[in-house]
A and B are shown apart, each in its own frame.
Chain A
Amino acid sequence: MAVTETRIVTKRLREHPEDSWTIDRYLATGGYEQLRRALTLPPAHIQDEQVKASGLRGRGGAGFGTGQKWSFLPKGIYPRYLAVNGDEGEPSTFKDHMLIERDPHQIVEGVVISAFAIEAHHAFIYVRGEFALGIERLEQAVADAYAKGFIGKNILGSGFDLEVIVHRGAGAYIAGDETGLLSSLEGERAMPRIKPPFPAVQGLYAQPTVVNNVETLSTVPHILRMGGEEYAKLGVGRSTGTRIFSVSGHVERPGNYEVELGMTFRQLIDELAGGVRGGKKMKFFIPGGASAPWLMPEHLDAPLDMDYVGSELKTMLGSGAIMVFDEDVNPALVAWRLLKFFAHESCGKCTPCREGSMWLERVLFRIAHGLGRPQDLDLMLSFGSTIVPGLNAPFAQTTICAMGPSTMSAVVSLDRFFREEILEMCTAGASEARRSIPVASA
Chain B
Amino acid sequence: MTATNESTPRPPGVPMSQWPSTYEYVLPTGPPGAVTLTIDGREVQAKTGDLLIKVAQDHGRYIPRFCYHERMKPVGMCRMCLVEVEGMRGLQISCATVVADGMVVHTQSDAALQAQDGVLELLLINHPLDCPVCDRGGECPLQDTTLAFGPGESRFVEEKRHWEKPIPISDLVLLDRERCIQCGRCTRFADEIAGDALISFGGRGYTTEVITSPEDPFSSYFSGNTVQICPVGALTATPYRFRARPWDLSAVETSCTTCAVHCRGALESSSNRLVRLLGVDSEPVNHGWLCDKGRFGYEVVHSGERVRHPMVRRDGELVECSWPEALDAAAAGLRDAIDAGGPESVALLGGARGTNEDAYAWARFVKGVLGSDNVDAQLGDGIPAEVALGLAEATIPDLDAAAAIVVVGIDLKEELPVLFLRVKRAAEELGVPLIELASRDHGLSRYAHSSIRAVPGEQAGAARRLVAALSGGTVEDAEMAHVAELVEGRDGHVVVVLGRGDLAESPAATVQAAAELAQLSRARFLMALRRGNVRGALDLGLTPGFLPGRVSLEAGRAGFEQAWETVPKARGLDAIGILDAAKRGQVRALMLLGTDPCDDCPDHGLARDALGAVGFTIAIDAFITDSTKRADVFLPAAMWGEKLGSVSNVEGRVQRVGRKISPDGTPMPDWRIAAELALRLGADFDLELIDEVQDEIARVAPAFAGVDAALLRRARDGVVLPLASHRDELVLGPVRIPLTSASWAPIQPGAADEETHAPAQATGVVDSTGTGAAAVIEPGLSQTALPPDDPELERVQEVAASPVQPELYRWAAKVTDAAVPGRDAYALRLVTGRTLYDGGIAVAASESLAQLVPEPILLVHPHDRDRIGVADGESVRVTSSRGSVTLAVRADAAIMAGTAYLPFNLGHDGVGDLVDSAAAVTDLRVESLS
Contact = CB atoms under 8 A, between A and B. Distances in A.
Given A347-B204, A348-B204, A352-B79, A398 B157 contact: no
Contacts of A351: 77-80, 119, 122-123, 181-182
Nearest to A386: B118
Interface in A357-389: 357-359, 362-363, 366, 379, 382-383, 385-386, 389
Nearest to A396: B90
A345 interface: yes
B208 A348 contact: yes
Interface stretch (A125-133, A138-146, A434-442): A434-442
Contacts of A438: 158-159
A45 interface: no
17 contacts: A189-B204, A344-B204, A348-B203, A349-B77, A350-B78, A351-B122, A351-B181, A352-B79, A352-B118, A354-B182, A363-B158, A386-B121, A396-B90, A398-B91, A437-B157, A438-B159, A440-B160
Interface string A325-369: 000000000000000000111111111101111110011001000
B125 A355 contact: yes
Nearest to A394: B89
B96 A355 contact: no
Q: Which of B121, B155, B203, B204 has the most CB of A within 10 A?
A: B204
Contacts of B125: 355, 358-359, 442
Contact of B122 (A352, A439, A442): A352
Contact of A354 (B89, B157, B208): B208
B363 to A, nearest CB: 55
**Secondary structure of the B side of the interface?**
loop
A397 interface: yes
Contacts of A441: 129
A194 B75 contact: yes
Nearest to B155: A379
Nearest to B153: A442
A398 B76 CA distance: 11
B141 to A, nearest CB: 14
A352 B119 contact: yes
A310 to B, nearest CB: 14
A172 interface: yes
A222 to B, nearest CB: 34
Contacts of B123: 351, 355
CB-CB nearest 9 A-B residue pairs? A386-B118, A348-B208, A206-B1, A358-B206, A194-B76, A355-B122, A362-B158, A346-B205, A396-B90
A389 B156 contact: no
Interface string B153-177: 0111111110000000000000000
Contacts of A400: 76-77, 79
A22 interface: no
Contacts of B203: 348
A389 B205 CA distance: 21
A194 B119 contact: no
Contact of B204 (A346, A389, A397, A437): A346
B518 interface: no
Interface of B: 1-2, 74-80, 82, 89-91, 93, 96, 111, 114-115, 117-119, 121-123, 125-126, 129, 154-161, 181-182, 200-201, 203-208
Contacts of A242: none
Interface string A42-82: 00000000000000000000000000000000000000000
A194 B96 contact: yes
A399 interface: yes
Given A344-B204, A354-B182, A359-B156, 7 more contacts: A206-B2, A344-B205, A350-B76, A351-B119, A354-B206, A357-B205, A399-B79
B2 to A, nearest CB: 6
B78 to A, nearest CB: 6
A202 interface: yes
Interface of A: 172, 174, 189, 194, 202, 206, 343-352, 354-359, 362-363, 366, 379, 382-383, 385-386, 389, 396-400, 437-442
A362 B80 CA distance: 23
Contacts of B201: 189, 348
B913 to A, nearest CB: 47
B115 A348 contact: no
A437 B158 CA distance: 8
Given A350-B78, A398-B115, A438-B159, A345 B205 contact: yes
Nearest to A344: B205
Given A343-B205, A389-B115, A350 B79 contact: yes
Contacts of A359: 122, 125, 156, 158
Contacts of B118: 352, 383, 385-386, 398
Contacts of B76: 194, 350, 400
A386 B122 contact: yes
Contacts, number: 131
B122 A440 contact: no
A366 B79 CA distance: 28
A366 B156 CA distance: 13
A343 B208 CA distance: 11
A356 B205 contact: no
A399 B916 CA distance: 65
A156 to B, nearest CB: 35
A383 B124 CA distance: 12
Q: Which of B2, B160, B181, B208 has the most CB of A within 10 A?
A: B208
A238 B36 CA distance: 39
A347 B202 CA distance: 10
Contact of A389 (B77, B114, B158): B114
A398 B121 contact: no
Contacts of A352: 79, 118-119, 122
B91 A202 contact: no
Contact of B1 (A202, A355, A357, A437): A202
Given A348-B182, A389-B91, A354 B74 contact: no
A347 B122 contact: no
Contact of A440 (B82, B157, B181): B157
Given A348-B201, A358-B206, A442 B156 contact: yes
A129 to B, nearest CB: 15
B114 A350 contact: no
A385 B157 CA distance: 18
A389 B123 CA distance: 17
Q: Which of A194, A354, A366, A383 has the most CB of B within 10 A?
A: A354
A343 B126 CA distance: 14
B93 A442 contact: no
B560 to A, nearest CB: 60
Contact of A355 (B90, B126, B200): B126
A440 B204 contact: no
A341 to B, nearest CB: 11
A355 B122 CA distance: 6
A399 B96 CA distance: 13
Contacts of A206: 1-2
Q: Which of B77, B96, B157 has the most CB of A within 10 A?
A: B157
A172 B208 CA distance: 14
A190 B322 CA distance: 69
A109 B115 CA distance: 46
Contact of A442 (B1, B91, B157, B205): B157
B206 A348 contact: yes
Nearest to A349: B77
Given A352-B79, A389-B115, A400-B76, A358 B91 contact: no
Contacts of B75: 194
A189 B158 CA distance: 29
Contacts of A356: 122
Q: Which of B78, B119, B201 has the most CB of A within 10 A?
A: B119
B775 to A, nearest CB: 22
B179 to A, nearest CB: 14
B157 A358 contact: no
A216 B839 CA distance: 65
Contact of A397 (B90, B181, B182, B205): B90
A78 to B, nearest CB: 15
B121 A385 contact: no
